[in-house]
A and B are shown apart, each in its own frame.
Chain A
Amino acid sequence: MAHFKKKRGGSKQEVPTSAMPDVIFILLFFFMVTTVLREVTLKVRVNLTQAQNIEKIEQKRLLSYIYIGPERLPGNRLGEDKVQIDDTIIEDLGAIRTLMYDKLREQPKLIVSLRVDEGSEFGLLTDVQEELKQASTFRINYSTRRER
């Protein structure tokens, strides 16, 4: 037995590479499918609440997000409720007006998706909504998950 084995080892022995493209494709598809594209890093905690009578938004390109929730502080602590648009936390709520107005000019059919933490107080949300009214971005959407 050992004698035969040695002989084979000396002759050419190749790994079949014809399946290599397939393997690569599997990997490609796997990563394509499992990767969730997140455009912004959340600086506030947003646990969405649940509701029953909700609608789906098919046209994602119309959406612009506003995040409201307790600020994430270093060391897993949570701070005050803050408003985040894109990548920055907005301290001065008056800035929302110009920000959203610019977005509206780029996309006249803009829908503002408000992703608000379930524990946040209504007051801050009203202030943000008031700014949205001033920016004439009237179409909003309270992001919720489907209730089960």
Chain B
Amino acid sequence: MEKRVTFKGIWLPLLLVLPQILITAIFFFYPAGQAIWQSLFIPDPFGLSMQWVGLGNFEYLFSDRYYRASFVTTAVFSILVTVVSMGVALYLAILADRLIKGSGTYRTLLIWPYAVAPAVAGVLWLFMFNTRVGVVTWYLGHLGYDWNHVLNEGEAMGLVVVASAWGRISYNFLFFLAGLQAIPKSVIEAAAIDGAHFWTRFRTIVWPLLSPTTFFLLVVNIIYAFFETFGVIHTITSGGPQQATTILVYKVYSDGFVGQDLGSSAAQSVVLLFIVSILTVVQFKYIERRVHY
């Protein structure tokens, strides 16, 4: 029994999807095509001349050990940001879900950090952890810990992860809370009557029913960590120390706009394009299978 609505001709459906195709073509295919085209050249910054180098830009990139290291940095950074922001958000959402009095205030307060722009969030955290005048640094100093993210790679990574994840917790919290509230109470009560403890209920009922939300947040958070954390990294570490926090997107910026090397910058954009395509395919093909709608 075919229940789908089908069109007889080809023109009407084409006309209906035309706006979508046009928008995709203008705002996605055209710039992406430009990036691929430019990645085959070494242009001078002013656009006065261009030299065909074929795949030379890619060869140059992959022979640079700092570029290769940037992949690992990006992976570590994205995973940490996603796990931290989703983990904390889920914990807070579970608490908020069980709250009876004052849950409105609690929720509103938790949503606030989402309104803070990444660059501003970066500056706020930087103030607290400033190596000479930061409040937290000062307390840590009293505890005998010498905080210096300017020189220490691990501390720098920790700080940008926390600053990036912080604003994201609000967003994830909202979705998790909505997801939790959509779970029918009767199912959970039935399980409770059967003697299932909180942890068993969570593992066998809540977590599977929450999986569409979790999957959605996973995709959105990884994309966030890849692209939108630029402001945080730029304000806190500028990619340092020794490139320990230079994620791929930051390198596109620094080679293109600090080094004026547009060929290398375009080649890096193309590499990013591939990574994001692969990630998306993997996510929808393999992870989504385990999601119960």
Q: Bound pair: A and B?
A: no
Q: Which residues of A approach B to under 8 Å, CB–CB?
A: none
Binding site for A on B (CB under 8 A): none
